[in-house]
Amino acid sequence: MANSKSGDSSLDRLVRILGAFDADVPSMSVGVLAVRADVPLATAYRLVDQLAAHDFLRRDSSGAVRLGYGLWELASRSSSALTLREAAMPFMEDIQAVVGQHTQLGVLQDDEVLFIERLSGRDSVVNQARVAGRLPVHRTSSGLVLLAFSPAHVQEAYLLRHPAATVPGDAGAGDFRRVLARIRAQGYAALEGLVDEDTTGIAVPVLGPGRTAIAALGVVVARQAVSVHSFLPALMTGARGIARAVGERRG
């Protein structure tokens, strides 16, 4: 695609426009969109018109722009996230029936945890994880499990990009490596009061070929409500079931 004067391509600008929307800002004017996407206003109007023609964006009666159904339709036809979610849902529902708080599934994406499903109870505790939302790897139990069960070169590359990565009580990259080694040895990660002070996050890996994590299965519960170990049998059983189901679907 042709480049702009700034050197970025049309595809770069399209991606920034689509990525400007999130759960906190689901709609906005074209002017605000241009600022958030860092594109000239005239370019934003042109690209919005093109995206709206394919229903990737929609305008409401006030002229504000939001994401359209076109993106959802494309993603729902075929994607690795959809396959993983469909394989995981029966097991997540079983866990959620027992936990009654939050049960969630995440994958490693661009040095963050991308959550592809979350089930919650009526009176669930606060939870920052949202479907299609992201959280930092080293600040979440799901992220730590995903990184701990990644190949060594993935871990080292992450530490090179995030040399200051730590978890509470550990200072420096050396300690962070030991945290990852401990999580891999014990088979789970648990963080109390880190993302929210009144909650505990517990996650186990869903293992694929080579015993590397293809996803993290976790729960978020009230802090110190019960022992972390009381949740592990259900989580580990669910993770093994998801791994088998994913393998069968791929087969």
- Tens of pLDDT, residue by residue over 118-156, are 999 888 898 888 888 899 998 899 999 999 999 999 999
CATH of 78-250, one of 1.20.1250.20, 3.30.450.40, 3.40.50.720, 3.40.630.10: 3.30.450.40
Q: What distance in Å separates the CA atoms of residue 94 and residue 79, rounded to the nearest whole number?
A: 24
Q: What distance in Å separates the CA atoms of residue 236 and residue 242, rounded to the nearest whole number?
A: 10
Could you tell me where the DSSP H helices lie in the chain?
A: 10-19, 30-37, 41-53, 69-77, 80-99, 141-148, 152-161, 173-186, 232-250
pLDDT at 9: 86
Residues 44, 17 contacting (CB under 8 angstroms): yes
Residue with tokens 């890996």: 205
Is it true that 10-74 and 78-250 share their CATH fold? no
Q: What distance in Å separates the CA atoms of residue 249 and residue 88, rounded to the nearest whole number?
A: 11
CATH architecture for segment(s) 10-74: Orthogonal Bundle (1.10)
Q: What number is the average pLDDT over the span 175-184?
A: 92
β-strand pairing of 65-67 with 27-28: antiparallel
Backbone angles phi, psi at 114, to 5 degrees: -100, 120
pLDDT at 2: 45
Q: What distance in Å separates the CA atoms of residue 84 and residue 95, rounded to the nearest whole number?
A: 16
pLDDT at 171: 45
Domain boundary assignment for the chain: 10-74, 78-250
pLDDT at 114: 93
Note the pLDDT tens digit of each residue in 71-111.
888 877 767 888 899 999 999 999 999 999 999 999 999 89
Mean pLDDT for the chain?
89
Which residue in 206, 246, 21 sits closest to 107, CA to CA? 206
Confidence of residue 22 (pLDDT cuts 50, 70, 90): confident
pLDDT at 137: 92
Q: What distance in Å separates the CA atoms of residue 172 and residue 130, rounded to the nearest whole number?
A: 29
> In whole angstroms, how far apart are CA 247 and each of 64, 76, 193, 212?
43, 20, 35, 14
